[in-house]
């Protein structure tokens, strides 16, 4: 009779301990966030998303200064930008004076309004974190840093605090040097109409453009799905003009590859200079290394990029490069061709 | 006695016997024509003896020297017809019995041997260079068409393509 209450009390104490311990553990899991999860959270992604929406849905006009640095120098341009919701963006380039319509998600539009799919790719390849507040173009802004896996900064955004577009965008190379800057130096932003919520245009959802991939692969094209630098294939199209277009992006930068069958007519390349790299010739235009042409294996490759120069070089090196045949290889090929010409059974 | 005729030459050469020579000399004592002819023949023979022997042609010398090269002299040319055909006791010259005229350039036959070998080497080197050059050119030629990338169009497409913008075909504005 005496032992039974003691046993019941012991069991009750154990149950109480389990309950209180479980409650305490539950409290810890609900309120104490592990440090690793906090560091991996893309705290700045929603800011980029809101800025991308604003870049399409709000009306604004301003002057943008764009500068790109490369291994051999830099280039710059002044853009007069005017965006009207529903009509699109027009960009007037100075000093050339050319005017063209541009999507704010394209390189011509400063890539200030990436699509939702591109933001997903960005978040997959980088960590997007809010980095406080600052000022740009004389306006209060929220800062967003895009970090690589090793913690170095790959890009930095200044986003208008008044629900506006991206005010300033910087890209950094692997060594931390700023290699691409697009910044408003003057911006007139129409006031937000109360009660009207900006809607995301359908095109901002985005997606892949790989519908032709099966047909291209069946036709014998060898298309790499990715290039070094986390560049992923997002578009593969064959044009009626007889060339293949491949688009690669990591969510920040973009590299376009154009492939034509044939051999390069180097005599008619005006404004391009040749560089000898790893046993083959590459033709480069401009001082920033964003435009390249080379020939390999019966095809001519043309690359245009909006990316850090080191990323472009690495991506280009991963594309086909057939070395120039040595003397004996060339003589042997000539002999075989001559024999094939005179061989009546060949 | 008739004139000496063909015996004039034999008389001058001393080929007549004693009796014939006496008869010839007695004739000459009364025949001025035959004396004149004997004098002419004698003068001609004297003139011929004063002349030097014919020099050996240089090309013939070189030909003979070539025949002495390693390998021995060339075998005698076999004639398709016998050379002993005669007509009335005299041999009939055939088409192979007369040497063809030597119309080779003098420089080829008179040049020393070292320049000739150098010429052979030069011709060989030139032939090899032509062959190697042909193989080099043929081996480098590509049957693919030569193209110049439309860089302005490519640049325009690059600048107006939104990454991950979907399958909507981008619209390009003309490049100024």
CA nearest neighbour of A100 among B126, B8, B160:
B160
Sign of the CA dihedral A45, A50, A54, A57?
Answer: positive
Q: List CB contacts (< 8 A) between A106 and chain B.
A: 159-162, 165, 170
How is chain A split into domains, by residue range?
42-204, 213-327
Which run of H or of E encompasses A325? none
How is chain B split into domains, by residue range?
7-50
- Residue A319 predicted with pLDDT over 70: yes
Mean residue pLDDT across chain A: 84
Q: pLDDT of A107-139, one tens digit each? A: 999 998 999 999 999 999 999 999 999 999 999
8 Å CB contact between A247 and A264: no
Q: What is the CATH number of domain A42-204?
A: 2.50.20.10
CA A217/CA A210 separation, integer angstroms: 11
Residue A20's pLDDT is: 45
Residue B94's pLDDT is: 57
Name which of A205, A206, A265 is nearest B147 (Cβ-Cβ).
Answer: A265
Q: List CB contacts (< 8 A) between B153 and chain A.
A: 241
Helix or strand or coil: residue B52? coil
Q: Which residue of A has its CA nearest to B174?
A: A100
Between A167 and B89, name the one with better pLDDT. A167
8 Å CB contact between A47 and A160: no
Helix or strand or coil: residue A91? strand
Helix or strand or coil: residue A30? helix
Mean pLDDT computed over A46-67: 92
Q: List CB contacts (< 8 A) between B130 and chain A.
A: none
Name which of B142, B154, B166 is nearest A206 (Cβ-Cβ).
Answer: B166
Q: Which residue has the tokens 């059974």?
A: A345
Name which of A98, A205, A247 is nearest B176 (Cβ-Cβ).
Answer: A98
Residue A34's pLDDT is: 46
Strand partners, A266: none
Q: pLDDT of A270-289, one tens digit each? A: 899 999 887 788 999 988 98
- Does 3.30.200 match the CATH number of domain A213-327? yes
Counting residues of chain B whose pLDDT is more than 70, the rounded percentage is 64
Which residues, other chains included, contact A282 with Cβ-Cβ below 8 Å and sequence gap of 6+? A274, A275, A276, A292, A293, A294, A316
CA B105/CA B119 separation, integer angstroms: 15
**Mean pLDDT lowest for which of A329-333, B93-97, B161-165?**
B93-97
Q: Which residue has the tokens 């000093």?
A: A95
The answer to whether the Cβ–Cβ distance between B147 and A264 falls below 8 Å is yes
Cα B166 from chain centroid (whole Å):
84
Please report how the helices A45-57 and A116-125 are oriented relative to each other, as an axis angle in degrees rounded to 10.
Answer: 160
Q: pLDDT of A291-315, one tens digit each? A: 999 999 889 999 999 999 999 999 9
Which tokens is A10 given? 């012991």
Q: pLDDT of B104-154, one tens digit each? A: 666 555 555 677 888 899 999 999 999 888 877 777 666 678 899 999 999
The answer to whether the Cβ–Cβ distance between A114 and B164 falls below 8 Å is yes
Residue B132 sits at the chain A interface (C-beta within 8 Å): yes
Residue B120 sits at the chain A interface (C-beta within 8 Å): no
The answer to whether the Cβ–Cβ distance between B160 and A103 falls below 8 Å is yes
pTM, to two decimals: 0.64
Candidates B154, B162, B167: best to mutate against A (most CBs of A within 10 A) is B162
């Amino acid at each position: 009779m005496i032992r039974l209450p003691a046993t019941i009390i012991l069991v009750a104490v154990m149950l109480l301990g389990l309950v209180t311990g479980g409650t305490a553990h539950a409290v810890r899991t609900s309120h104490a966030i592990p440090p690793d999860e906090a560091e991996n959270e893309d705290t700045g992604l929603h800011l980029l998303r809101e800025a991308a929406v604003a870049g399409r849905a709000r009306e604004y006009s301003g002057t943008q200064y764009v500068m790109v640095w490369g291994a051999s120098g830099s280039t710059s341009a002044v853009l007069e930008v005017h965006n009207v919701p529903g009509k699109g963006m027009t960009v007037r380039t100075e000093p050339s004076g050319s005017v063209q319509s541009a999507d704010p998600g394209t390189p011509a539009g400063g890539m200030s309004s990436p699509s939702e799919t591109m933001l997903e790719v960005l978040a997959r390849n980088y960590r997007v974190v809010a980095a406080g507040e600052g000022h740009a173009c004389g306006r209060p802004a929220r800062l967003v840093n895009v970090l690589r896996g090793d913690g170095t900064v790959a890009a930095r955004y200044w986003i208008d605090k008044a629900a506006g577009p991206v005010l300033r965008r910087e890209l950094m190379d692997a060594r931390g040097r700023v290699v691409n800057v697009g910044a408003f130096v003057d911006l007139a932003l129409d006031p937000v109409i109360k009660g009207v919520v900006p809607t995301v245009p359908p095109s901002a959802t985005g997606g892949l453009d790989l519908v032709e991939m099966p047909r291209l692969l069946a036709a014998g094209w060898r298309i790499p799905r990715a290039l070094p630098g986390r560049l992923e294939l997002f578009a593969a199209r064959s044009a009626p003009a007889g060339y293949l277009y491949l688009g690669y992006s990591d969510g920040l930068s973009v590299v376009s590859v154009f492939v034509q069958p044939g051999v390069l007519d180097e005599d008619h390349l005006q404004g391009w200079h040749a560089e000898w790299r790893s046993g083959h010739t590459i033709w480069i235009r401009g001082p920033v290394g964003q435009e390249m042409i080379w020939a390999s294996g019966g095809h001519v490759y043309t690359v245009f990029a909006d990316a850090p120069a080191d990323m472009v070089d690495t991506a280009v090196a991963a594309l086909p490069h057939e070395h120039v045949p040595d003397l004996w290889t060339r003589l042997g090929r000539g002999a075989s061709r001559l024999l094939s010409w005179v061989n009546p059974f060949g | 006695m008739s004139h000496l005729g063909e015996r004039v030459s034999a008389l001058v050469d001393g080929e007549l016997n004693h009796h014939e020579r006496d008869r010839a000399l007695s004739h000459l004592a009364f025949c001025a024509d035959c004396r004149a002819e004997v004098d002419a023949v004698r003068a001609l023979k004297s003139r011929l003896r004063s002349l030097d022997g014919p020099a050996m042609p240089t090309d013939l010398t070189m030909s003979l020297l070539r025949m002495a090269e390693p390998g021995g002299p060339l075998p005698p040319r076999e004639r398709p017809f016998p050379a002993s055909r005669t007509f009335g006791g005299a041999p009939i010259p055939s088409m192979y019995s007369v040497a063809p005229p030597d119309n080779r350039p003098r420089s080829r036959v008179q040049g020393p041997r070292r320049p000739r070998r150098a010429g052979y080497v030069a011709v060989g080197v030139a032939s090899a260079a032509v062959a190697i050059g042909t193989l080099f050119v043929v081996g480098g030629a590509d049957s693919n068409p030569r193209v110049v990338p439309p860089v302005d169009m490519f640049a325009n497409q690059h600048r107006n393509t939104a990454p991950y913008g979907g399958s909507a075909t981008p619209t390009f504005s003309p490049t100024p």
